[in-house]
Amino acid sequence: MRSSSSSPALRAWQLLLLAGLFLAWHVLAVPGIVPPIYFDDPYKAAFFFGEPLKVLGRIWNWFVGGDIYRHLWVTLLETMLAFVIGTVSGIVIGIWLALAPTASAIFDPYIKALNAMPRVILAPIFFVWFGLGIASKVALGVTLVFFIVFFNVYQGVREVSPVVLANARMLGATQKQLLRYVYLPSAMSWVFASLHNSVGLAFVGAVVGEYLGSAEGVGYLILQAEGVFDINTVFAGILVLTAFALVLDGAVTLVEKRLMVWQPRSGETERI
């Protein structure tokens, strides 16, 4: 049965809401349509909040003229590298520490200290270590992705039922078999729950790194536009980044559905 979250009616309402938001933005920002509400000068609203038609026109010109592709490729490459490296390292280290109580106890205060640290303040250090190229942005993104994945995997492995482990050992399962057939399936549910947030944070790491120091990337375009008070280009960059973040999140959802087919759908367990 098709879930309600993907029904045509729901999609239609979502698109209608999006159109309504753009219409409200257009009405409130474009001078002369409605009297000024917050600003005494009707042109101030367009200056501070942009005009949606000009924003969409800027995006159109970017893609038709080809100006955006080089910058978008750099940002997407930084995002994907940060996402993959942060996810893989978070899974490996999370499983290792979950299955090694002594090592977990030793590293516990250090991991908590690093997680509590605002990672954005590491950006200048990464610039010194790795330069202003892609590597420093990837490093910043990895620090954002790693801890979300790590803590979810760590918790997922530690919450494996002792009864399931005991039964598997009684059947002669080795440690490798336990890892493959018991621990990993248990952790995967937690992993995919964290990956949706990780995609957004990988984008944050890439864009913030570009914003603080870069010569290319969508974050660089946004910074350049802010420097000349071009609010329409700023919003155009934000919308482009948001759209591609949603595309990557949708890709994660498709992979999740393919790899997690063994999980019962919502409500199926209640009917059993």
Residues 43 and 151 in one domain: no
Tens of pLDDT, residue by residue over 128-147, are 888 878 888 889 889 888 98
Residues 43 and 149 in one domain: no
Residues 43 and 93 in one domain: no
| Under 8 Å between Cβ of 231 and 51 | no
Residue position matching structure tokens 């109580």: 101
Our count of domains for the chain comes to 2
Judged by DSSP in three states, 229 sits in coil
**Percent of residues in the chain assigned helix, strand, coil, to nearest 5:** 80, 0, 20
Residue where a domain terminates, one of 34, 49, 64:
49
pLDDT at 39: 56
191 exposure class (CB count in 10 Å sphere: 0-12, 13-18, 19+): buried
Residues 126 and 12 in one domain: no
Contacts of 82 (CB under 8 A, 6+ apart): 137, 138, 139, 140, 141, 142, 144, 145, 202, 205, 206
Residues 92 and 38 in one domain: no
Tens of pLDDT, residue by residue over 89-104, are 988 888 888 888 888 8
Residues 32 and 134 in one domain: no
Residues 23 and 158 in one domain: no
Structural domain boundaries, residue 260:
53-271
pLDDT at 129: 87
pLDDT at 171: 67
Q: How far from 68 is each of 61, 65, 76, 226, 267, CA to CA, in Å?
A: 9, 8, 12, 17, 44
| Under 8 Å between Cβ of 222 and 204 | no
Structure tokens at 136: 């420093």
Residues 206 and 96 in one domain: yes
The CA distance from 74 to 238, in Å, is 16
Q: How far from 104 is each of 108, 187, 230, CA to CA, in Å?
A: 6, 17, 50
Residue where a domain terminates, one of 9, 30, 49:
49
Residues 64 and 176 in one domain: yes
Full pLDDT tens readout for the chain, 272 residues: 444 555 788 888 878 888 888 887 777 777 666 555 555 555 666 666 777 888 888 888 888 888 788 888 888 898 889 989 998 898 888 888 888 888 888 888 888 888 888 878 888 888 888 887 888 888 988 988 898 888 888 877 776 666 666 666 776 666 677 776 677 777 777 777 777 778 888 888 888 888 777 778 888 888 888 777 878 888 888 888 888 888 888 887 787 777 665 554 544 434 44
